[in-house]
Amino acid sequence: MKPTAQTQSQVRDQPRDARAFWVVEPGRGEIRPEPLAPIDEGTLLVRASHGAISKGTETLVFRGMVPPKMVERMRCPFQTGDFPGPVKYGYSTVGEVIEGPDDWVGRSVFCLYPHQDLFAIPISAARRLPARLPPARAVLAANMETALNALWDARIRRGDQVCVIGAGVVGLLCAYLAKRLAGADVEILDIDPAKAETARALGLTFLSEPSDDAAYPLIIHASGSPDGLRTALQIAGFEGRVIELSWYGSQRVNLPLGEDCHDRRLTLQSSQVGHVAASRRRNWSHARRLDRALELLCDKRLDALVWGESRFEDLPRTMPALADGRLAALCHRIVYR
């Protein structure tokens, strides 16, 4: 017998438990039960299928390296708890809508939501996936959005010579976009030769070290290492620009700003995804930028960025391995079911 509307409403209003990954204290995480509030008219209930771990920011959070002055600015959407812990943190989840308006139910969505297997979210915070985008690849959306914003900050023009330092996910996506969208002459530099194959799969020129006479007019730095930033300043040409994407948390960074740095009139500019790049801010909202990032992921070559995956239940063991380097990864994908 088909349930009555009253019975369906009663089912929706019953409390339900989900499971979420929490950083309990620096270096230790666990899966905890999460009560779910009733689903109201403007809310979607999403069952997660895939997620991803941001190897840069999330491992700094896991290790308790968020500076005190950045505690509020570093809060992610739908975060619960505070740094250094206990805190529920993360911002890359893909899932299927199982409750909500009829035109949403059954749709795959991307959400800037922490690692949790079942969650309620306002409709305005969910982005529908393009029909051509597999949910497993859509976990790269937050990284693609960061790379797109960096491309806008860099103001790259067709034919520009660009060096990207750091062949992590964001660096590779920056190089990919600089070549695909801007038509730039792009080289990507990383000291790890294991990343060369992934770079070439995206049609990029990979270098393990710069040439002796390197003098790039534009460098995007995304290695996450102070050594990489120092290299960027060394190989920048006259009036060269360095776009800095790496975030170091509470780590101190010493830079060679003496010698000929001023004589070469270098520019060091930070780029951060929390604000839409100034060149596009007037016409682009965060939602529109994220939708564009999802569209840009409709290229099967980008599957090369996923180096490994693990089950959601294994996160208490996976996060420490990623944080201390025992587990090599570009994008590390989480599988919920």
Residues of the chain within CATH 3.90.180.10 domain(s) are 10-140+297-335
Q: State the DSSP H helix or E strand holding residue 318, giving kind and residue range, or none if neither.
A: helix 315-323
Give per-residue pLDDT as tens, 206-247.
999 999 899 999 999 999 999 999 999 999 999 999 999 998
Quote the pLDDT of residue 261. 84
Q: Which amino acid is at 68?
A: P
Round the average pLDDT of the chain to a whole number and report it: 92
Q: From residue 278, give the alpha-carbon distance in Å to each of 118, 207, 272, 329.
A: 36, 31, 11, 32
* DSSP summary character for residue 324: T
Q: Is the pLDDT of residue 10 over 50?
A: no
Query: Residue 38, preceding bond cis, omega within 30 degrees?
Result: no
pTM (two decimals): 0.90
**46 vs 259, higher pLDDT:** 46
Q: Which CATH superfamily is domain 10-140+297-335 in?
A: Medium-chain alcohol dehydrogenases, catalytic domain (3.90.180.10)
Residues of the chain within CATH 3.40.50.720 domain(s) are 143-270
Backbone angles phi, psi at 57, to 5 degrees: -65, -45
Question: 189 - beta bridge partners?
Answer: 165, 207
On the 0-12 / 13-18 / 19+ scale of CB atoms within 10 A, 304 is middle
With beta carbons less than 8 A apart as the criterion, state whether 31 and 21 touch.
yes
Give per-residue pLDDT as tens, 287-314.
999 999 999 999 999 999 999 999 999 9
Looking up tokens 């740095």 gives: 261
Q: Considering the chain, what percentage of its residues have pLDDT values greater than 90?
A: 80
Fold of the 143-270 domain = Rossmann fold (3.40.50)
